Amino acid sequence: MKLKYILPLLMILILGCSNPKNSSEFIEKASGRYLFNANETMEIYFKEQILFVKWRGNENLEPLKVNDSTFYLKELNEKLVFVSNPSTHIKLAPKREHKEVVYKFRKLTDGEKTPKEHLIDKNFDLALESYLNIQKKDSLNKSIQWNTINNLAHRYFKTENKETALSLFEINIKLYPKKPAVYRNYGYALMEIKDTINAIKNYKKALSIYPDDQRAIKFLNKHKTK
């Protein structure tokens, strides 16, 4: 029998042998939000002692209970293992595809938010602080790459949420002060809202970092009389 058919059958057998309800102690420890990646969360909650997951817009994902601490989430094709020491967290059960990498999801403290959530709340200073913390811990993290933030800023700009968009352009400058592209993109956005003076300042900054920046040169030649 093919492997792709064996796994679902095993999960059905496991579910049939396990009590889907969880203890009050486990519910108290496991309930909460976990950092799925640097800018995304997964929430664990319970209804009638049965564990559910909120993740990426899906609010009623119900994993199969394997044992008292392990649950199979088919949407991830992963087993979530709840660990209480040294502090409550989730780790993925090892499997060949992980190539011996250990994946752990830290449980967030009360009130702790991701940069994305701070942006939604329009707490831009806290968003910047969160992005800087991610950069300090992992400078290669995809969520803080300059083009990731730049694309997000442009998406906000196109949806008429210009306040958040402009703040993201500014955050990008704080994260990458020596990258001319972040100044050009901010300058472009400022031109779109008719703030020509500050747009010119940002294009000049881009040119000061990279004197052969043709986009900046073209823009400044066009607006040199202003």
| pLDDT at 9 (0 to 100) | 52
Instruction: In whole angstroms, give the CA distance from residue 212 to residue 207.
Output: 7
Final residue before a domain boundary, out of 106, 141, 161: 106
Residues 122 and 38 in one domain: no
Residues 167 and 122 in one domain: yes
> Containing domain of residue 206, as a range?
115-222
What residues in the chain have per-residue pLDDT under 50? 5, 15
Residues 120 and 217 in one domain: yes
Residues 146 and 176 in one domain: yes
Backbone angles phi, psi at 130, to 5 degrees: -65, -45
CATH code of 144's domain: 1.25.40.10
Tell me the angle at which helices 180-192 and 162-175 cross, rounded to the nearest 10 degrees.
160
Final residue before a domain boundary, out of 106, 136, 155: 106
* Total tally of structural domains belonging to the chain: 2
Residues 119 and 207 in one domain: yes
| pLDDT at 47 (0 to 100) | 96
| pLDDT at 4 (0 to 100) | 53
Residues 122 and 47 in one domain: no
Element (H, E) at 174: helix 162-175
Residues 53 and 90 in one domain: yes
Task: Show the beta-strand stretches assigned E in 74-220.
Answer: 78-83, 89-92, 104-106
Asked if 32 and 107 touch (Cβ cutoff 8 Å), the reply is yes
The pTM (predicted TM-score) of the whole model is 0.82
Final residue before a domain boundary, out of 58, 85, 106: 106
For the CA atoms of the chain, what is the radius of gyration? 23
Residues 126 and 57 in one domain: no
Q: What digits encode the pLDDT tens for the residues 69-111? A: 999 999 999 999 999 999 999 999 999 999 999 999 999 999 9
Residues 120 and 218 in one domain: yes
Residues 10 and 83 in one domain: yes
Q: How far is CA 198 from the centre of its chain?
A: 30
Residues 131 and 190 in one domain: yes
Q: What is the DSSP letter of 144?
A: G
Residues 163 and 181 in one domain: yes
| pLDDT at 224 (0 to 100) | 78
Instruction: In whole angstroms, give the CA distance from residue 133 to residue 118.
Output: 14
| pLDDT at 161 (0 to 100) | 94
Q: Which long-range contacts (CB under 8 A, 24 or more apart) does 37-40 make?
A: 37/143, 38/114, 38/134, 38/138, 38/141, 38/142, 38/143, 38/144, 39/114, 39/115, 39/116, 39/134, 39/143, 40/114, 40/116
